[in-house]
Amino acid sequence: MHFDTIAAISTPMGEGAIAIVRLSGEGSISVATKIFKGKHLTEVPSHTIHYGHILDTKSGLIVEEVMVSVMRAPRTFTKEDVVEINCHGGLVTVNKVLHLALENGARLAEPGEFTKRAFLNGRIDLSQAEAVMDLIRAKTDKAMNVALGQMEGRLSKLIQQLRQELLETLAHIEVNIDYPEYDDVEEMTHSMLIEKSLSVRLEIERLLMTSQQGKILREGLSTAIIGRPNVGKSSLLNSLVHENKAIVTDIPGTTRDVIEEYVNVRGVPLRLLDTAGIRETEDIVEKIGVERSRQVLKEADLVLLVLNNNDILSPEDELLFKAVEGMDVIVIINKMDLPQRINVDRIKELAATHPLISTSLVEDLGVDQLEEAISSLFFSGSIDSHDLTYVSNSRHIALLSQANKTIQDVIHGIESGIPIDLVQIDLTRTWELLGEIVGDSVHESLIDQLFSQFCLGK
């Protein structure tokens, strides 16, 4: 498969020590040679790096001092010739180098086009390609390990094994259909179908069991910190983040908007949302903040409901318990360093089965217990990102769920005595659905849509 030559800046925009302009395609070495003064790049060995200068081809003036890496196909990320020009990390110089590459035969890459080429050229499958972006976006070391495992093909190998089992079973069914006169073949086919289908379903269900945890590791838990004004919500955010991100005062209504911050809690990425205190107010700005808080609450995966140990339990507090019914909630009684005025027995009734944690955020007490409760709520206290094949991608989860349904239809069909050629339809559909995960049977429009979400230069 031959593509034109693409170029893009592969490092973040802004000032830094180094910036990289990456080229890929059949003409990438010849394009780089036109603008590089140093060794002749068409003659250097593959996977070598060379010092020199980038020249403006029109004026002949030196634009930048660079190191240029030359990597020849097929031992590259895209399986094409790849050149990486290492520049100084200034906005002007790196853009000038890119502009010269475009003037001399390359075109600007689309978002994710380098990884798309790696997929189209058969270096990686679709699930591995998606893991590249997961690795870039990983918020914790656990999320990074899951993405690395998927990039290395852990999920792909398992899916391919399941597809091979299904393919062998489908071939066996074809023999049965072609030679119906042999009764022993039919009997063996039914027995084999049940055995293989149960085996495949078991693996799919095992993968789906990891999906909630995998999705959390990939996307993070949207966590709303709620409570009446001045109960310590902003102090809690600051304690979890280990920085003073939110303003903390004794004045109710200080937080007027939703403050968002990512934090790593025992390997679980939390997207912490410190909300304005929910109460009735006449202040128009605070009223907008309260409405936004209610909206955030609807979209939260986890709610941290904060109460004040030094204040009586109010009707507003009781309404908050009603607002979070059916959600994953951890109830926090804060300000334990002050005299107790709150009715703890009533809180235990309202909290029911929800974890109840006591904290004194001023004295940094109870935060460890809170972190442990968060981890236990979603991961039973531990995350084994090395040994398990986690499914973390929403697209993969949806396809596995559909495949689980079709394989169950196969088992039900065999047990109900449905003709074997009709059962074969559901078995083939299971094989196709698993193929969509790794990209063996997927529409071009989906591929374009997936790679369009990547950053430019990746």
What is the DSSP code string of 253-280? T---S-EEEEEEETTEEEEEEEPPP---
Q: 444 in a domain, yes or no?
A: no
Domain tally for the chain? Answer: 3
Q: 447 in a domain, yes or no?
A: no
Q: What is the pLDDT along the chain (458 residues), one digit of tens a residue?
A: 678 999 999 998 878 889 999 999 999 999 999 999 999 999 999 999 999 999 998 898 999 999 999 999 999 999 999 999 999 988 899 999 999 999 999 999 998 899 999 998 989 888 888 888 787 777 777 777 777 888 888 889 999 999 999 988 888 777 666 655 555 555 556 778 888 899 999 999 988 887 877 777 777 788 888 888 888 887 888 888 765 443 333 434 444 344 567 788 877 788 887 655 444 444 443 344 445 556 667 778 888 999 999 999 888 888 888 888 888 899 999 999 999 999 989 999 888 888 999 999 888 899 889 888 888 887 764 555 555 577 878 889 999 999 999 999 999 998 888 888 888 899 999 999 999 998 887 667 777 777 777 776 77
Q: Are residues 231 and 371 in the same domain?
A: yes
DSSP state of 454: S
Q: Mark which of 104, 124, 144 sits at the end of a domain.
A: 124
DSSP state of 139: -
Q: 342 in a domain, yes or no?
A: yes
Q: Are residues 370 and 235 in the same domain?
A: yes
Contact by Cβ (8 Å): 284, 257: no
Residue 388 pLDDT: 56
Kindly report the pTM of this predicted structure: 0.68
Q: Are residues 134 and 109 in the same domain?
A: no
Q: 164 in a domain, yes or no?
A: yes
Could you identify the residue written with the tokens 């170029």? 7
Q: Mark which of 79, 102, 124 sits at the end of a domain.
A: 124
Contact by Cβ (8 Å): 67, 97: no
Q: Are residues 373 and 227 in the same domain?
A: yes
Q: Are residues 142 and 99 in the same domain?
A: no
Q: 385 in a domain, yes or no?
A: no
Q: 352 in a domain, yes or no?
A: yes
Q: Are residues 265 and 362 in the same domain?
A: yes
Q: Are residues 76 and 93 in the same domain?
A: yes
Question: What CATH number corresponds to the domain at position 356?
Answer: 3.40.50.300
Q: Are residues 363 and 277 in the same domain?
A: yes
Q: Are residues 339 and 226 in the same domain?
A: yes
Distance CA 60, CA 65 (A): 14
Extended strands (E) in 36-160: 36-37, 48-55, 62-71, 82-89, 107-108
Q: Are residues 95 and 190 in the same domain?
A: no
Q: Write out the two tokens for 129.
A: 């390609």
Question: Which residues span the domain enclosing 37?
Answer: 6-124
Residue 252 pLDDT: 41
Distance CA 371, CA 188 (A): 54
Q: Are residues 22 and 103 in the same domain?
A: yes
Q: 322 in a domain, yes or no?
A: yes
Distance CA 347, CA 342 (A): 8
> Which are the contacts of 164, defined by CB distance < 8 A and separation ≥ 6?
none
Q: Are residues 158 and 191 in the same domain?
A: yes
Question: What CATH number corresponds to the domain at position 62?
Answer: 3.30.1360.120
Q: 156 in a domain, yes or no?
A: yes
Residue 243 pLDDT: 52
